[in-house]
Structure 1
């Protein structure tokens, strides 16, 4: 198992390196740079004069070749943990992203748990009670969850919470707790608000995994080994947990590799709609104004989550199915 883990970690190093290169190149693809965007925004005020623009370009290193900018960026990250300077806000990227990353990771992990708690039992029930009323209801709700855009669901839930329950909407805490220190009352208020983005972001993922779990388990329930175990007198519940469910979990577990980064990147519009203090609105603004170090750092972190999610999936699959680690 340790050899399997070492190989997977070694594969991660060149993958992350290549991802960082592609990320930096993609950010540089649009014509112009941050100063061109800034000059366009200030056009009504006379714009930037050439001398000021050149001084800022020299200060930020925008006049240097792309490989030089990339080298300086990666050198700062690898040697000092410094993700560079945000052009728009003129502060280190580290100061902007760490607080928001905490909220983003917290919401993402809770959403992932919500997806699993909802999808696993419903998917198993739909497969075991195939073509029952509950199966049809789960299928209908699954299609609805896949069809409704997250931001639209957020708007509907915010309206219902405000209209019928009198709850403040937008943000993770009520306005009176925004700048207040953490207390038990503030924590309780957080719990009253945080469930909504978790449900909104996790709905489509849960709907997709319900269908995956149902299809996987249906493929296993009628295999000869299940019939043989049933003929030996094993109870249905014990049989289900010991054989077909364990095999059906393989594709289910492997979805962590794409669900985890999808939760982080997919909450951008939801975060804007619900005014969440996460990385989504920050990344959107950075892309709009071509704040390349800020945008590149956030995209790199999302890409790293993809690699980590794949590693977690591989380890869980190797733990569930010994054939994987032996190969």
Structure 2
């Protein structure tokens, strides 16, 4: 195993260089660059634009720009400077990563904690009422697109605001629900996503109020992401457990007098869990790439909105910084999944 890990680590180096070089070239091949929007301004100073391009090295060949950027990563861990914000890329992307990491991590933990026991329950109770009910919800979850489910939740929130306010009539017991239902879907979350007012309000809160505010506004986006992953993962776990329930070693374990709980969780689940563990390779990049459409609709200040804005503004090094983190986490995730598979499944050995 040690030799295998060392060999895999060395294999990650050319993979990382190839992935980042390809991404860098593709981004550079798009028409125009960051200074083009200033060049279109009739009042722009041509000399100032020339100095700007010289400072950022935009006139250098693509490979020269790439190797300068890569040398900064190797020597100092420096991802470059943002063209738009005139600040190190790390300062720009770290807050976005933290927001996306929080959202996706909570959703993934809930998905795995719910999918495994539900899938086992369905397999053990195949074709019974409980299995049919969960199968129905799983099919509905797979059939409904995320963007439509998001809209349904928004409509539900807006619809419930009026009736609940009439029922509450100032009763303090309903206040948390009303606060949640009245969160502004147009202007986004209370913590800063742009605008002086929201920033001032958020900064005036104590640290535990800030944490509570973030968690409170995580409810709807977390619900969307969790249900989307739960529907498919439950089907995988159910199918795997059903396959191994018919195996010879399960019949042998039962013939030895082992309890059904030991048979399921010690023998069946250990073999059936392999596809779930192999999927861990994609989990780490998801923690950085964010939740896509969900972040846009719910105004969550995460990676996806920041990535799109950086592309629109042709902010090269911000885009590359996000791609670098995604590539690294994807490679690390695949390595972790391979190691976990070897630990869980005794049939897998790396020599």
Which deviates further from its counterpart, 61-70 or 129-138? 129-138
Distance in 1 (alpha carbons) for counterparts of 2:289 and 2:143: 19
Deviation (angstroms), 1:224:
1.3
Distance 1:144 1:182, change over 3 A: farther
Distance 1:177 1:309, change over 3 A: farther
CA deviations over 1:273-320 (Å, ceiling 9, x no partner): 111122221101111222111111111111222112212212221221
Deviation (angstroms), 1:234:
1.9
RMSD: 2.4
CA deviations over 1:178-227 (Å, ceiling 9, x no partner): 22354333333332222322222232222221111111111111011112
CA deviations over 1:21-75 (Å, ceiling 9, x no partner): 1221221231222223x24xx74x5375644433322221111100011011111
Q: 1:142·1:208 contact (CA, 8 Å) conserved in 2?
A: yes
Normalization by structure 1: what TM-score?
0.89
Distance 1:305 1:162, change over 3 A: farther
Distance in 1 (alpha carbons) for counterparts of 2:230 and 2:5: 29
Q: 1:142·1:207 contact (CA, 8 Å) conserved in 2?
A: yes
Distance in 1 (alpha carbons) for counterparts of 2:287 and 2:91: 23
Distance 1:240 1:177, change over 3 A: farther
Picking from 150, 173, 177, the partner of 1:154 is: 150
The residue aligned with 1:9 is 9
The residue aligned with 2:316 is 292
* Count of aligned pairs: 323
Picking from 174, 180, 185, the partner of 2:204 is: 180
Q: 1:256·1:310 contact (CA, 8 Å) conserved in 2?
A: yes
Unmatched segments (≥5 aa) in structure 1: none
Distance in 1 (alpha carbons) for counterparts of 2:278 and 2:221: 24
Distance in 1 (alpha carbons) for counterparts of 2:330 and 2:63: 25
In the alignment, does 2:87 pair up with 1:91?
Answer: yes
Larger Rg: 2
Unmatched segments (≥5 aa) in structure 2: 161-176, 192-197
Which deviates further from its counterpart, 252-261 or 10-19? 10-19
Distance 1:6 1:322, change over 3 A: farther
Q: Secondary structure at the match of 1:86?
A: coil
Normalization by structure 2: what TM-score?
0.83
Distance 1:308 1:172, change over 3 A: farther
